[in-house]
Amino acid sequence: MSQKKVRVRFAPSPTGGLHLGGVRTVLFNYLFARQHQGEFVLRIEDTDQTRFVPGAEEYIVECLRWCGLEPDESPEKGGPYAPYRQSERKPLYRQYAETLVATGHAYYAFDTPEELEAMREAEKTKGNHSPQYNQQIRTGMRNSLTLDAATVKELLDKGTPHVVRIKMPDNETVSFTDMIRGEVSFQTSTVDDKVLLKADGMPTYHLAVVVDDYLMRITHAFRGEEWLPSSPVHILLWRYLGWETEMPQWAHLPLILKPDGNGKLSKRDGDRLGFPVYAMNWTDPKTGELTKGFRENGFLPEAFVNMLAMLGWNDGSGQEIFSLPELVEKFSITRVHKGGAKFDYDKAKWFNHEYIVKTPDAELAALLEPVLAEKHVISTPEYTALVAGLVKERCHFVNEIWDHGFFFFQRPSTYDVASVKPKWTPEKQAFFEAWSVMLGSQTEFTAEALENGFKQLAADKGLKPGELQLPFRIMLCGGKFGPPVFVIAETLRQKETIERIVLGLAQINA
Ligand code: GLU
């Protein structure tokens, strides 16, 4: 078994945008595959036609691309086990459902929706609040276990709508070793007889996931913890279909929790607390409702991926910043925690900040392009890169380069003159008039030369340079912010610096 080529899969249902937990599942699959020189498959589980949402598959594909976690096989790319969309594999599944019926592990159920509803109502009045089609209930329903063989044949021959259900054994313990949780056991009596094949001939998730993991030679299946309760059904199916020796090793990944640790992080928590929960913006095609994504919120994919890796995993050394190749090398599924990981948006922003600082200035300049275009600012890539380099230490997001450095691209539209006026004197006025003239003949326009000249002029006029720097800053950027003032002047260059002093003085004197 251990000699087999590692094959993992991400098997989303195309029902909407991708939650960050889903992307983390992709990531862990990807890391494991790369680490073992294995293959990573994207399989679209679209057998539930009622939940199908147009655009969701394309969104998933784009999301994987944005994150740099491209699958080796997928509906788009194809591969040796195509098709990779379950709806296109529909004819394949019935034979396995029939085999299960023939071997006594599954049965036909002819109950109509009305009969099922009547059963639920009757059970509820008896005090059973979550009635399920299980070992007790099945005995009172219309299925191939309660009806005689001739009736069943007749119903089938007439094409009576029916489903195929697994026949859960009475009182067995089903156990398996989860790569994260260790030994996990279930009592079969607590699990209902899940539908395997629906009346429309489509398999349910339970049958399709087992058949496809088998046919696609999947060796390790990593999926969210919410699937743990379904695992006894899947394990029994592997066993009943005679494939148990081929069964993948399972790892059920811990939930991503709300910031306060109380329950699973949902899309609504993001809306409520003001942060994204989806990887990218998602617009519901039915309602038009927009759910914000990390990408559009200004996250760099590398930072997003690094942050996700740390939600439930660490390498034990305290290191937090890992490149993707480093993660491939260091990741270990057995070091993933069992407990849920609390989502902390400030920490997510910290990761993004770290990556912004690491990103070459020219790349940041390219990322800032759309923002500049929106502001109708014309800049050269070199100048934008220069500005990005000056302010990136203060930024959590690419857009914040603008917030922290807009005055490099346009003159201030407001001036914080209130900070200057109360202490403004004719001597200061005279200083700045002289300073602007002096700058006109300054041959070396560097921060250092400017600072020296500024201090010298202040000394000549008997003024403290410290008291002059704030007005100078307000003239150049409009407020009390920005990098060192002489660096700002150097970056703005001679002509612009002089013009801003003139404009600034007019504002102060207005
Ligand atoms: N289609 C399931 C989902 O939407 C996949 C679960 C699994 O990976 O087995 O999450």
**Hey, which residues does 224 pair with through a beta bridge?**
253
Question: Which contacts qualify for 451-456: CB closer than 8 Å, 24 or more apart?
Answer: 451/486, 454/486
Residue 307 burial class via C-beta count within 10 angstroms: exposed 0-12, middle 13-18, buried 19 and up = buried
**Hey, which residues does 341 pair with through a beta bridge?**
256
Q: Which residues lie closer than 8 Å to 132 by C-beta, 6 or more apart?
A: 192
Atom of ligand 1 nearest to the CA of 234: 9
Per residue in 19-34, pLDDT (tens digit) is 999 999 999 999 999 9
Atom of ligand 1 nearest to the CA of 222: 8
Going 366 to 370 to 371 to 372, the CA torsion angle's sign is positive
Q: What is the reported pTM?
A: 0.91
Query: Residue 38: which of 335, 337, 333 has the closest Cα?
Result: 333
Expressed in angstroms and rounded, the spacing between residue 223 Cα and the centre of ligand 1 is: 7
Res 8: pLDDT: 98
Q: How confident is the model at residue 49 (pLDDT cuts 50, 70, 90)?
A: confident
Q: In what order do the strands lie in the sheet with 195-197?
A: 106-109, 163-166, 195-197
Q: Which residue's alpha carbon is at the smallest distance from atom 5 of ligand 1?
A: 11
Expressed in angstroms and rounded, the spacing between residue 7 Cα and the centre of ligand 1 is: 16
Mean pLDDT, to the nearest integer, of 231-249? 98
Expressed in angstroms and rounded, the spacing between residue 495 Cα and the centre of ligand 1 is: 62
Atom of ligand 1 nearest to the CA of 13: 4
Res 456: pLDDT: 97
Q: Which two tokens stand for residue 260?
A: 């306060």
Average pLDDT over the chain reads 96
Expressed in angstroms and rounded, the spacing between residue 105 Cα and the centre of ligand 1 is: 23
Where do the domains of the chain lie?
Answer: 7-74+210-257, 90-206, 270-360, 411-509
Task: Report in angstroms the alpha-carbon separations of 220 from 124, 195, 313, 329, 430.
Answer: 40, 25, 18, 18, 77
Expressed in angstroms and rounded, the spacing between residue 13 Cα and the centre of ligand 1 is: 7
Mapping DSSP onto H, E and C, the string for 17-61 reads: CCEHHHHHHHHHHHHHHHHCCCEEEECECCCCHHHCCCCHHHHHH
Q: Is residue 234 predicted with pLDDT exceeding 90? A: yes
Q: Which residues lie closer than 8 Å to 485 by C-beta, 6 or more apart?
A: 469, 472, 473, 476
Q: Which residue's alpha carbon is at the smallest distance from atom 2 of ligand 1?
A: 12
Res 319: pLDDT: 97
Q: Tell me which H or E stretch contains 185.
A: strand 182-187
Helices and strands of the chain, counted as H and E runs:
19, 13
Catalytic residue (one of 267, 342, 358, 461): 267
Residue 132 burial class via C-beta count within 10 angstroms: exposed 0-12, middle 13-18, buried 19 and up = middle
Task: Read off the DSSP letter of residue 250.
Answer: E
Q: Which residue's alpha carbon is at the smallest distance from atom 3 of ligand 1?
A: 12
Res 3: pLDDT: 72
Expressed in angstroms and rounded, the spacing between residue 259 Cα and the centre of ligand 1 is: 25
The answer to whether 92 and 211 are in contact (CB under 8 A) is: yes
Residue 341 burial class via C-beta count within 10 angstroms: exposed 0-12, middle 13-18, buried 19 and up = buried
The answer to whether 308 and 20 are in contact (CB under 8 A) is: yes
Res 281: pLDDT: 97
Per residue in 451-465, pLDDT (tens digit) is 999 999 999 999 999
Q: Which fold has domain 270-360?
A: Glutamyl-tRNA Synthetase; domain 2 (1.10.1160)
Expressed in angstroms and rounded, the spacing between residue 340 Cα and the centre of ligand 1 is: 18
Q: Which residues lie closer than 8 Å to 54 by C-beta, 6 or more apart?
A: 285
Atom of ligand 1 nearest to the CA of 9: 8
Q: Could you tell which of 19, 204, 205, 206 is best to mutate to test the pocket of ligand 1, judged by most ligand atoms within 8 Å of the CB? A: 205
Q: Which residues line ligand 1 (CB under 6 A)?
A: 11-13, 45, 205, 209, 223, 227
Atom of ligand 1 nearest to the CA of 22: 10
**Rounded CA separation 137/121 (Å):** 13
1.10.10.350, 3.40.50.300, 2.40.50.100, 3.40.50.2300: CATH of 411-509: 1.10.10.350
Expressed in angstroms and rounded, the spacing between residue 20 Cα and the centre of ligand 1 is: 15
- The highest-level CATH class for domain 90-206 is alpha beta
**Hey, which residues does 9 pair with through a beta bridge?**
41
Q: Is residue 1 predicted with pLDDT exceeding 70? A: no
Expressed in angstroms and rounded, the spacing between residue 11 Cα and the centre of ligand 1 is: 5
Per residue in 245-266, pLDDT (tens digit) is 999 999 999 999 999 999 999 9
Mean pLDDT, to the nearest integer, of 356-365? 97
Q: Could you tell which of 49, 51, 227, 231 is best to mutate to test the pocket of ligand 1, judged by most ligand atoms within 8 Å of the CB? A: 227
Q: Could you tell which of 32, 41, 202, 223 is best to mutate to test the pocket of ligand 1, judged by most ligand atoms within 8 Å of the CB? A: 223
Q: Which residue's alpha carbon is at the smallest distance from atom 10 of ligand 1?
A: 12
**Rounded CA separation 308/320 (Å):** 11
Write down how long the chain is: 510
Res 390: pLDDT: 98
Quote the CATH superfamily of domain 7-74+210-257.
HUPs (3.40.50.620)
| Residue 14, Ramachandran bin (φ over 0: left; ψ between -120 and 50: alpha; else beta) | beta
Per residue in 436-453, pLDDT (tens digit) is 999 999 999 999 999 999
**Rounded CA separation 494/357 (Å):** 28
Res 462: pLDDT: 97
Atom of ligand 1 nearest to the CA of 205: 1
Q: Could you tell which of 40, 209, 218, 238 is best to mutate to test the pocket of ligand 1, judged by most ligand atoms within 8 Å of the CB? A: 209
Expressed in angstroms and rounded, the spacing between residue 205 Cα and the centre of ligand 1 is: 8
Res 474: pLDDT: 98
- Determine whether 124 is an active site residue: no
Q: Which residue's alpha carbon is at the smallest distance from atom 9 of ligand 1?
A: 223
Per residue in 113-168, pLDDT (tens digit) is 999 999 999 999 999 998 999 999 999 999 999 999 999 999 999 999 999 999 99
User: How do the residues of the chain divide into helix, strand and coil, expressed in percent and rounded to 5?
Assistant: 50, 10, 40
